Amino acid sequence: MMKKIMSVAAASVLLFAAAGDSVAGSKYKPPKGPAAAGCPGDCQDQIDVLNSSQARQDEQINALQADQGRQDAQISALEGGQARQDEQIMANSARLDQHDQTLNALKNRRHDQYNPWYVKGVARLVWSGSMDIDKAEYGYKGETDTGYGLGLAGGRRFGNFRAEGEMAAQTADFATAGLSELTVKTLMLNGFYHVPVPEFWVFGRNCNTLSVYGMAGMGAGKAEVTFDDDVEDSDTGFAYKVGAGVAYDFAANMALDLGYEYMRTSSLQLGNEEHTLFNDVKTSSVNAALRYSF
């Protein structure tokens, strides 16, 4: 009995060993014959092609990653530039707001400080025109040397127009024989119209404080004549004048005027039967005036 069992076990071992050799040979051992000689080369070529394709794909991926990195860097640079531009825009906006506030403050301050009422002092260089002088039997002309005059005025501005009342006096020596001195005192109402010059370069800066003006005035004039023998005579009549000039506002409430005026008095009777008789007095003057606004 024991021998039969041992024989069956040995046969089983031999059967399993043979089956294992057959399975192992079919799974792990390369095929034999012509097929075994050609397969490794084809497989290696396919492997090489796949490896080369993989290498190209890796290169493309690396290139794409490099491009992506450059694009990211450009985007970061653009974002940084945009951020700087935004900062500059905000800074410029803040400066503009500050400038607007400053301008508004200056406008408000100028409006608060501005007063249309003003006073004016005037200094004049005076000379007479050719004045008609009648004698008992014939007539001739009378003229004066250059004299001087002073005036004081007060008035008000209405935009480009000014209206003022003025008191003035002027005197000059006669250049005509028999006559000594001529003095004219006036009380007049004057009107000025200013035309601003848009831009004017003065003292190294642009400004719009220069204007040209025309003026006219009327009132009363008193002429006093002194003869060589110290005899004096005077008369009062209607007086009028016209002129033109330039004005410069060099401060918020200060201005300088420089101009020319022609003045004439009429309906005057000066002298007596022994002296010269004047029918009118004509004078010209160059004026410099300083105005102060309250």
Please write the tens of the pLDDT for every residue from 71-98.
888 888 888 888 888 888 988 888 888 8
> Last residue of some domain: 113, 131, 153?
113
Do residues 147 and 129 share a domain?
Answer: yes
Do residues 156 and 53 share a domain?
Answer: no
The encoded tokens of residue 86 equal: 């935004």
64 in helix, strand or coil?
A: helix
* DSSP bridge pairs for 270: 278
Do residues 253 and 129 share a domain?
Answer: yes
Do residues 104 and 176 share a domain?
Answer: no
pTM, 2 dp: 0.58
CATH number where 142 lies: 2.40.160.20
Q: Looking at residue 206, what is its pLDDT?
A: 57
Q: Looking at residue 207, what is its pLDDT?
A: 61
> Last residue of some domain: 56, 84, 113?
113
Do residues 139 and 227 share a domain?
Answer: yes
Residue 91, judged by CB atoms within 10 A of its CB (0-12, 13-18, 19+), counts as exposed
Do residues 154 and 280 share a domain?
Answer: yes
Do residues 1 and 82 share a domain?
Answer: no
Do residues 242 and 227 share a domain?
Answer: yes
For 273, list phi and psi in degrees, rounded to 5: -65, -25
Do residues 195 and 234 share a domain?
Answer: yes
Number of domains in the chain: 3
> Last residue of some domain: 58, 92, 113?
113
Low-confidence residues in the chain, pLDDT < 70? 1-41, 105-114, 129-142, 200-208, 271-279
How far is C-alpha 133 from the chain's CA centre? 58
Do residues 185 and 71 share a domain?
Answer: no
Do residues 37 and 128 share a domain?
Answer: no
Q: Looking at residue 145, what is its pLDDT?
A: 87
Do residues 59 and 105 share a domain?
Answer: yes
Q: Looking at residue 272, what is its pLDDT?
A: 59
- Distance separating alpha carbons of residues 87 and 93, to the nearest angstrom: 10
Q: Looking at residue 203, what is its pLDDT?
A: 60
| Domain hosting residue 66, numbered range | 31-113
- Distance separating alpha carbons of residues 61 and 65, to the nearest angstrom: 6
